[in-house]
């Protein structure tokens, strides 16, 4: 009798946690209770690296009906979705999507940043305490230990008593490590070079699962060592600029940035399998491996929800090399649409149509190549390094007698040597303000803010609001500057990102599947809103640093 009672209690608990509907007895005028959450069998999070919002609209005529168009027509579209902090770069972007907060809270203040304690530059995912798994190189020495809060993937693991699986996949290590969170069952990223294989870290496992080892040994990635030509006739790509222009980078061994690209001929001079990162085939490799993980790990196979985090990184590599207005970028998105179609069909088959929930966004957007903007008579230009500016060095020498008060300049921040300031009897706030006044005179600088302002003021709008959300009191610098709109710290070819300007912050938000209402909004939504929206949908606790708010209009 006791065993039966315990079995019934376990069944009741399972139903309450995972959404099975039990008949409710009516008491007087009361109505039947309704479970206050939706429980998809699988959540799929997709981050498209460097995807501007207008890539969705510009290339719309070239998309098929079963990729982007299916997600938009059957799901919810945020048309005015933004990063609410800077720097707008890959590490902070992935961290913010999955934590529901900003670098001011989660601590990933850049891809790399100057560490004030060690005096060294650190990488957002590096971890000397971990060792590589699946490779003899250092490519696997990664973990999420610099991430200071929990993620939506962590909350799923906690909510399900660690029974829900979390698998994260990306070409870039940071695109897998940060979305996977602290408790992921596994995170995998791609190592190029002569072998081209998926690797991981001892943070997650002692050895690669057998299915990953078999996949690496299959040589499947080698099928993409082929010619990259446009998916559709290049003459139809009227939404982008001329194929041959001065604003695009070139692969080693190729004279002009023009289609077709003979990858076998370019192979050895461009890092062998690393070459695939800068082609749409890098995204194909990502889909291949994600689908293998879906099957091998039986994701979404039962009522306990799982999470598959996918980051498509090749769009960023291609954007950096060829620029926002290139036919290469357009072809990358036309082909990405086919990857999404392939992914959705596999999810329909394995998990079941209507049984999974998916979101898609980007980790940042990108600026048009400043040289191209100048050619179109739009104000634009390039920043120069402050350390290389004679006038800046002269100012430091004249005002303070030394340039050594500057410890580091990176990520549009200046770090001061506070011990030296103390020995010189200099007030840090006054030094910050004098430096700000000097830097503001430089033509490419638009705005300058001090650490004192970031710590004492409470901004709620505009550029200072965005900077403050990216400012971490323990980690960030003494001075922050913003380039003029249209200006970039980059070479003359290809696009970049990182600023608080709207061309770097405006990204798509697509929500689709179980529990998602069909529709759209032009109301402003922000990146930290994604994690609490998924949390509310699933009835889970929010990630513990959440500052975003649920997007109620997207939920049924």
**Active site residue ranges:** 90
- Please, what is the angle between helix 327-347 and helix 314-322, to 10°? 170
Beta strands in 49-172 (DSSP E): 76-82, 112-115, 120-123, 132-133, 166-170
Contact predicate 186/326, CB 8 Å: no
What is the separation, in whole angstroms, between the first and last Cα of the chain?
41
Q: Please compute, for residue 55, the number of CA atoms within 13 A of its CA located in the half-sphere on the CB side.
A: 36
- Nearest Cα to 294, choosing from 410, 202, 167? 167
> Where are the strands (E) in 422-537, listed by range?
445-450, 479-483, 487-488, 506-513, 519-521, 525-526
Angle at 498 (CA atoms; ends 57, 123), nearest 5 degrees: 125
42-48 and 306-312 strand pairing: parallel
Residue 69 buriedness (CB in 10 A; 0-12 / 13-18 / 19+)? middle
Cβ proximity of 231 and 338 under 8 Å: yes
* DSSP run (H or E) holding 519: strand 519-521
Closest to 189 measured CA to CA, from 155, 157, 251, 143 = 143
Task: Check if the beta carbon of residue 274 is closer than 8 Å to that of residue 171.
Answer: no
For 395-492, list the strands marked E by DSSP.
Answer: 406-410, 413-416, 445-450, 479-483, 487-488
CB of 277 closer than 8 Å to CB of 171: yes
């Amino acid at each position: 009798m006791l065993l039966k009672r315990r079995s019934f209690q376990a069944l009741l608990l399972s139903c309450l946690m995972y959404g099975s509907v039990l008949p409710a007895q009516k008491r007087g005028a009361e109505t039947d209770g309704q479970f206050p959450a939706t429980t998809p069998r699988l959540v799929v999070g997709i981050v498209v690296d460097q995807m501007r919002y207008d890539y969705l609209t510009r290339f719309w005529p070239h998309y098929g009906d079963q990729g982007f168009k299916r997600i938009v027509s059957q799901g919810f579209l945020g048309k005015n979705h933004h990063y609410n902090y800077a720097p707008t770069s890959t590490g902070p972007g992935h961290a913010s999507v999955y934590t529901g907060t900003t670098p001011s809270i989660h601590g990933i203040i850049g891809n790399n940043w100057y560490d004030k304690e060690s005096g060294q530059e650190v990488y957002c995912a590096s971890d000397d305490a971990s060792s590589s798994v699946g490779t003899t190189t250092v490519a696997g020495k990664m973990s999420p230990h610099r991430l200071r809060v929990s993620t939506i993937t962590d909350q799923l693991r906690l909510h399900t008593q660690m029974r829900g699986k979390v698998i994260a996949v990306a070409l870039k290590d940071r695109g897998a490590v940060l979305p996977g969170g602290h408790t992921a069952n596994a995170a995998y990223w791609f190592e190029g070079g002569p072998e081209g294989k998926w690797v991981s870290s001892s943070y997650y496992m002692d050895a690669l699962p057998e299915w990953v080892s078999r996949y690496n040994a299959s040589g499947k990635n080698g099928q993409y060592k082929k010619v990259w030509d446009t998916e559709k006739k290049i003459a139809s790509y009227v939404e982008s600029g001329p194929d041959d222009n001065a604003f695009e980078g070139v692969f080693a061994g190729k004279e002009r940035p023009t289609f077709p690209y003979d990858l076998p001929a370019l192979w050895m001079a461009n890092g062998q399998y690393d070459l695939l990162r800068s082609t749409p085939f890098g995204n194909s490799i990502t889909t291949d491996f994600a689908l293998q993980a879906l099957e091998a790990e039986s994701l979404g196979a039962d009522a306990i929800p799982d999470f598959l985090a996918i980051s498509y990184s090749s769009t960023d590599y291609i954007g950096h090399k060829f620029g926002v207005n290139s036919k290469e970028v357009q072809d990358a998105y036309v082909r990405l649409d086919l990857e999404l179609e392939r992914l959705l069909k596999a999810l329909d088959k394995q998990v079941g149509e209507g049984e999974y929930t998916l979101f898609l966004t980007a980790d940042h957007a990108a600026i048009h190549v400043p040289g191209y903007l100048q050619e179109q008579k739009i104000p634009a230009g390039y920043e120069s390094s402050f350390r290389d500016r004679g006038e800046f060095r002269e100012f430091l020498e004249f005002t303070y007698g030394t340039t050594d008060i500057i410890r580091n300049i990176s990520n549009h921040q200046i770090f001061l040597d506070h011990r030296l300031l103390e020995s010189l009897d200099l007030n840090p706030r006054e030094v910050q303000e004098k430096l700000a006044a000097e830097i503001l005179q430089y033509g490419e600088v638009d705005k300058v803010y001090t650490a004192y302002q970031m710590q004492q003021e409470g901004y709620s709008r505009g550029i200072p609001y965005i900077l403050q959300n990216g400012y971490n009191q323990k980690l960030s610098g003494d001075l922050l500057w913003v380039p003029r709109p249209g200006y970039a710290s980059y070479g003359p070819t290809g696009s970049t990102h990182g600023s608080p300007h709207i061309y770097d912050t405006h990204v798509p938000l697509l929500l689709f599947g179980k529990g998602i209402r069909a529709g759209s909004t032009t109301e402003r939504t922000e990146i930290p809103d994604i994690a609490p929206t998924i949390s509310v949908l699933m009835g889970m606790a929010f990630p513990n640093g959440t500052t975003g708010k649920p997007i109620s209009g997207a939920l049924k």
